[in-house]
Amino acid sequence: MKIERTGMLLILSGPSGAGKGTLGKMLLEQDDSFCFSVSATTRAPRPGEVPDVDYHFVDDRRFDELIGQNAFLEYATVHGNRYGTLRGDVENRLRHGQNVLLDIDVQGAAMVMARMPEAVSVFILPPSFTELRERLVKRGTETEEVIDRRMANARQEVGQMDIYQYVLINEAPPEASFLKLKSIVDAEKLRLSRCTVTIDD
Ligand code: 5GP
């Protein structure tokens, strides 16, 4: 018997600071069937971010060009900056049986779910809003004003989580939450609709 699988598109969303980046990184490190979809953004790079690894950093003109070329699977404005998932990258990898991780916001996720209903979607919650704010402050990469905006956004995003298939609370340390994410992923790899089974005698 043989099973061949088409790639899985995994959407991870959740408020900024909920730890979806950390969980996503753990998944990429520990499961080499996954690759990361590098988004285009008009946001300025943060210290330590590597162009074309963390994001493709582009200006507004280039972002508009990409929209005009229908290059995005989805795009959205988040916290005042524009972000988009490059369609070609994602479709190519899925076609070759690779699993693809998307770290995107709720608006983008809704668009991907409508276009690719077979996508697997997981919403990551922080233990509380108080802890979320503490994490954002500790991160030290944002101003007070940006943190306030992200907190307002967080409440809004949490209010929209009903469209996701799975939800988990990311308590520190992240290892236990990662195991939950891993069990979702491992079960979804066995979903028959993503498998072609060859029956041998
Ligand atoms: P950050 O600026 O902190 O890296 O990301 C801010 C938010 O934008 C996060 O919620 C992240 O998931 C989201 N984001 C990153 N890339 C994309 C994308 O390509 N599309 C959409 N819709 N959201 C994205």
The residue contributing the CA closest to ligand 1 atom 24 is: 104
Reference 166, options 134, 125, 194; nearest CA is 125
Pocket flag, ligand 1, residue 14 (CB < 6 Å): no
Return the domain boundaries, the chain: 2-198
Overall size of the chain counted in residues: 201
* The listed CATH number (3.90.1660.10, 3.30.70.20, 1.10.10.10, 3.40.50.300) that belongs to domain 2-198: 3.40.50.300
Measure the CA angle with vertex 133, ends 129 and 134; round to 5°.
115
Distance 175 CA to ligand 1 centre (A): 23
- pLDDT for the residue 51: 97
Pocket flag, ligand 1, residue 42 (CB < 6 Å): no
Per-residue pLDDT of the chain (201 residues; tens, 9 = 90+): 999 989 999 999 999 888 999 999 999 999 999 999 999 999 999 999 999 999 999 999 999 999 999 999 999 999 889 999 999 999 999 999 999 999 999 999 999 999 999 999 999 999 999 999 998 898 877 889 989 988 999 999 999 999 999 999 999 889 999 999 999 999 999 999 999 999 998
d(CA 57, CA 52): 7
Pocket flag, ligand 1, residue 37 (CB < 6 Å): no
**Best probe residue, ligand 1, of 53, 83, 155, 164 (max atoms within 8 Å of C-beta):** 83
Pocket flag, ligand 1, residue 55 (CB < 6 Å): no
- pLDDT for the residue 146: 86
Pocket flag, ligand 1, residue 76 (CB < 6 Å): yes
DSSP 15-75: -TTSSHHHHHHHHHHH-TTEEE-PEEE-SPPPTT--BTTTEEE--HHHHHHHHHTT-EEEE
3-state secondary structure (DSSP) of residue 126 = coil
Q: What Cα–Cα distance (Å) separates residue 113 from each residue in 60, 68, 110, 120, 129?
A: 26, 22, 5, 9, 27
Distance 105 CA to ligand 1 centre (A): 5
The residue contributing the CA closest to ligand 1 atom 15 is: 104
- pLDDT for the residue 82: 98
- pLDDT for the residue 86: 98
- pLDDT for the residue 132: 93
